[in-house]
Amino acid sequence: MKVIISGGGTGGHIYPAIAIANELKVIDPSVDILFVGAEGKMEMEKVPRAGYQIVGLPIVGIKRELTLANLAFPFKLGRSFARAQQIVRDFQPDVAVGVGGYASGPLLLSASLKGVPTLIQEQNSYAGLTNKALSRWAKRICVAYPGMNAFFPEEKIKLTGNPVRSDIQFADQQLEAGRTLFNLDPTRPTLLVIGGSQGARTLNETLEANLTQFIEAGVQVIWQTGAAFIERARAAVAAVNSPLVKAFDFIYEMDKAYAVANAVVSRAGALSVSELCLVGRPAILVPLPTAAEDHQTKNAMSLVERNAALLVNDRNAREELVAAALHLLNDTDLCKRLSTEIKKLGKPNAARDIAEEVIHLTK
């Protein structure tokens, strides 16, 4: 069995794709999997690190504002489509999977034109532009939220949830290992702050300006900044000179980070929300306001409306977030309620369910 998995651009696309690939390998160790991503994007580093081969397309996104870069878009799209056709001819997949992101467009269209059955995995509660366009040709569309028939043909939809890395499901078993990894004091509360795989400026600048408040409250902070902010974060940590704050550009062992967290502050990307549901951690979500179609706010509200998370708007975060986080850490009853409700929304079998749909299409 040969499977192409295409897409990427952010961890929210890449890690579900890797989770699907891993599950396919569990079901059929002989499966041959090829990833297709966008040149220069993070999948070109993350996918090989996970043990899979990836090839890149010269595809780029089109900017919403008028820029000179948009003039190159048609040419790069054409080159990407030609390259995708060549990849499909050479690899001869039995099925092609798209997880969203620039590369999935040319690849899935090329596969469809060659008669290869395609499956789309939509992570968000508001469908992305690429997936909406590709749904016309897709045989199956796996979604994470109910009500997605607003975007896709209902007969193609299967509600599976979002696949996450298998280690996340067993985070609770990593408490001691996490305390050792992050050198934590088990008698103090721990706040995990994650702005997505590339960081979040609002969260980073809010923490940078308010580290002393957490230190004075005796709170340990594990802070994932993204690569662009790590030097500023390290300078801020050095300035407060406290072992209570740990800054990282990227945390690979997220199972251990979740294990030690008493509460989490996070963006509301699809992958982060799905992971929080599985680990059952009380969370404050700060949606990225510039996300396409404001889909992060919609992701967050799907939890908030079920009393499964708290919401702080990005525009208010600098004034409200620190107080909200400290209040949550000090309110044991609220933490328990949020933890109980968010865990009800977890779908631990998502990767297996999607992998089985992929295999079904090959038959």
207 is in an annotated binding site: no
Distance CA 269, CA 194 (A): 11
My answer on whether 62 and 45 are in the same domain is: yes
Total domains in the fold of the chain: 2
My answer on whether 90 and 184 are in the same domain is: no
Largest CA distance in the chain: 62
My answer on whether 205 and 331 are in the same domain is: yes
My answer on whether 251 and 185 are in the same domain is: yes
296 is in an annotated binding site: yes
Question: Which residue stretches of the chain are H helix?
Answer: 11-27, 43-49, 73-91, 104-113, 129-134, 175-182, 201-216, 230-240, 254-260, 270-279, 295-304, 317-330, 332-343, 350-362
Q: pLDDT tens digits, residue range 90-137?
A: 999 999 999 988 889 999 999 999 999 999 999 888 887 888 889 999
My answer on whether 132 and 242 are in the same domain is: no
My answer on whether 197 and 127 are in the same domain is: no
10 is in an annotated binding site: yes
Q: Considering only CA atoms, which of 263, 278, 343, 270 is closest in space to residue 306?
A: 343
Range of the domain at 66: 2-162+348-362
Q: 198 pLDDT exceeds 80?
A: no
12 is in an annotated binding site: yes
My answer on whether 353 and 279 are in the same domain is: no
My answer on whether 142 and 265 are in the same domain is: no
My answer on whether 92 and 186 are in the same domain is: no
My answer on whether 137 and 173 are in the same domain is: no
Q: pLDDT tens digits, residue range 81-102?
A: 999 999 999 999 999 999 988 8
Distance CA 245, CA 210 (A): 11
Q: pLDDT tens digits, residue range 286-297?
A: 999 988 778 899
- Which stretch of 70-79, 288-297, 310-319, 335-344 has the lowest confidence by average pLDDT? 70-79
356 is in an annotated binding site: no
CATH number at residue 306: 3.40.50.2000
197 is in an annotated binding site: yes
My answer on whether 207 and 325 are in the same domain is: yes
274 is in an annotated binding site: yes
275 is in an annotated binding site: yes
Which residue type sits at 131?
Answer: N
State CA 257 to chain mean position distance. Answer: 16
My answer on whether 9 and 147 are in the same domain is: yes
210 is in an annotated binding site: no
